[in-house]
Amino acid sequence: MSVPEPAVHVAFLTSAGMGHLKPCLRLLSVFLRHGCKVTLIIPKPTVTLAESNLISRLCSSFPHQVTQIDFNLTPLDPTTVNATNDPFFLQYETIRRSVHLLSPILSSLSTSLSAFVVDAFLVSPILPIIEKMTCPSYIQFTSSARMLSFLAYVSVLADSDSAAQPHPTKFVGDAIQIPGIKLPIPRSSVPPPFLLEGTNSFQRMIMQDSPNLKKHDGVFMNSFEELEGEALAALNEGKVVKGLPPVYGIGPLMACEFENVDESQKGCMSWILERLNERAEGSVVYVSLGNRTETRRDQIKDMALGLIACGYSFVWVVKLKRVDREEDEGLEDVLGSELMSKLREKGVVVKEFVDQIKILEHPAVGGFVTHGGWNSVTEAIGEGVKILIWPQGADQKFNAELLRNSGVGIWAEEWGWGTQKVVEGKEIAKRIKEMMSNECLRVKAREMKDAARKACGVGGSCEVIIKRLIEEWKRNAQLN
């Protein structure tokens, strides 16, 4: 006797980089747990091997529940793009310009779609496609509700500017006061590419996408009430911009089993965990400035000196290359043998891709020095780990402000963007000591962990929202 097909079919269209891919696959797995059929559309080729490996592990874990479809991109003509060496922004632009090729992919699906979830970088390009579809479309926003409020409000700021062609450098003053949100956004926290003179791909994308958020049926956020209640309420009550679709706080999206590292990386993780097992509870600092931004060579030495001087054991993940397909480079070549020897006496230094959740959840880890990417922020909150945030770019100062005001982290604001100046080792050591010794941070981090686990647990806000949407999609299918 054949098993009937699930009543709900959800398609996901991913973007570039682990910061976008991980939350997409985690949300996808939530719908799988609720019995939905899922189609995953993958832009090819991916930028990094880490992305390809993660997708392969997901599909191997759910061979009958997930249908993978490759979305082969049209090569980008470099003469049509502003000069940039960022492979991820080039990929975003390539995906946006290839979206028109999706129509035959979607029409070939064996069962009709109940919902279509697309990455936040595709708000506008996907509109001609979804206008021909009968199912609702949702944006998966991979940053904070505070960042979404900024993105939504940009169109209001632009409309209020008297210039015929307003530019962000004109309408963004010293600070932006977003309706419904008490804390203003200082100009210094706005993503740097947005404020560059002239025009660039990032500016054009934001200015195009801001008013088009209203044309979708909802936005999924990897956030929750206790962390961002004010911003979520302001967005949903029409205070930020009238006419926005519902914003669903379905976070924190927790790590899944398929995220476990490859066989080739298990040796590195086993070694790290063995070292952590030797340390006292809460005595180790975990340092990782993200998997997208390479650490500057002139900063690496001072980071090493700061870790040696801080007095705590540490696990330091150093990223020497932006893309993992690039030529390999030895860490000792950068730091020298003498400094490497001192580092190894005090802690663990690796440049391989690691299982961040396994490190954060280990009882020995008491603090996290991070760039403040939204995935890292929510993962640390979910594990109750104190945070020292050092923004490197993008939305990370938004996240730093949020962490500081929520009491779970400290922000070394005087360091500026991590790409601007070299922070001395003694200053890094000072700030790490401040984080690790702060009892108030520890207590607040534990409280936020409890709230996070409640939100994503059985009967929590995430489950309530997902079940409600599934029932809504089922009713829509019956009506159609």
- At 202 the three-state DSSP class reads helix
Average pLDDT over residues 176-180: 90
Selected from 3.40.50.2000, 3.30.300.30, 1.10.10.10, 1.10.760.10, the CATH number assigned to the domain covering 262-454 reads 3.40.50.2000
pLDDT at 197 over 90: no
pLDDT at 315 over 50: yes
Distance CA 154, CA 139 (A): 17
Distance CA 347, CA 246 (A): 46
Distance CA 12, CA 38 (A): 8
Nearest to 350 by CA among 451, 442, 275: 275
pLDDT at 321 over 70: no
Distance CA 367, CA 94 (A): 38
Average pLDDT over residues 443-467: 93
Please, what sign has the CA dihedral across residues 231, 237, 241, 246?
A: positive
As a whole number of Å, the end-to-end CA separation of the chain is 28
Percentage of the chain modeled with pLDDT above 70:
88
Per-residue tokens: 217: 């049926």
Q: Which of 249-253, 259-263, 419-423, 472-476 has the highest mean pLDDT?
A: 249-253
Is-above-0.75 flag for pTM?
A: yes
pLDDT tens digits, 13-59: 988 888 888 999 999 999 999 989 999 999 988 888 888 888 888 88
450 is catalytic: no
- Mean model confidence pLDDT for the chain: 85
pLDDT at 401 over 70: yes
Q: Per the CATH hierarchy, to which homologous superfamily does domain 9-255+458-479 belong?
A: Glycogen Phosphorylase B; (3.40.50.2000)
Average pLDDT over residues 456-479: 88
Q: What is the DSSP letter of 363?
A: T
Q: Is the peptide bond before 166 cis (omega within 30 degrees of 0)?
A: no
Q: Do domains 9-255+458-479 and 262-454 have the same CATH topology?
A: yes
pLDDT of residue 161: 57
pLDDT of residue 81: 66
pLDDT tens digits, 370-391: 999 999 999 999 999 999 999 9
Give the domain ranges of the chain.
9-255+458-479, 262-454
pLDDT of residue 1: 43
List Cα–Cα distances, 398 to 11, 145, 167, 394, 416, in angstroms. Answer: 30, 10, 21, 9, 13
Catalytic choice (70, 86, 119, 333): 119
Q: With helix as H, strand as E and coil as C, how does 385-432 read?
A: CEEEECCCCCCHHHHHHHHHHHCCEEECHHHCCCCCCCCCHHHHHHHH
Percentage of the chain modeled with pLDDT above 90:
44
pLDDT tens digits, 142-154: 999 999 999 999 8
pLDDT of residue 168: 66
Catalytic choice (20, 216, 362, 371): 20
20 is catalytic: yes
Per-residue tokens: 98: 């290839």
pLDDT tens digits, 55-99: 888 888 888 888 899 888 888 776 666 656 677 888 888 888 888
Q: Roughly what angle, to the nearest 10 degrees, separates helices 18-33 and 461-479?
A: 70
pLDDT of residue 165: 55
Average pLDDT over residues 390-412: 92
Residues 6+ apart with CB under 8 A from 333: none
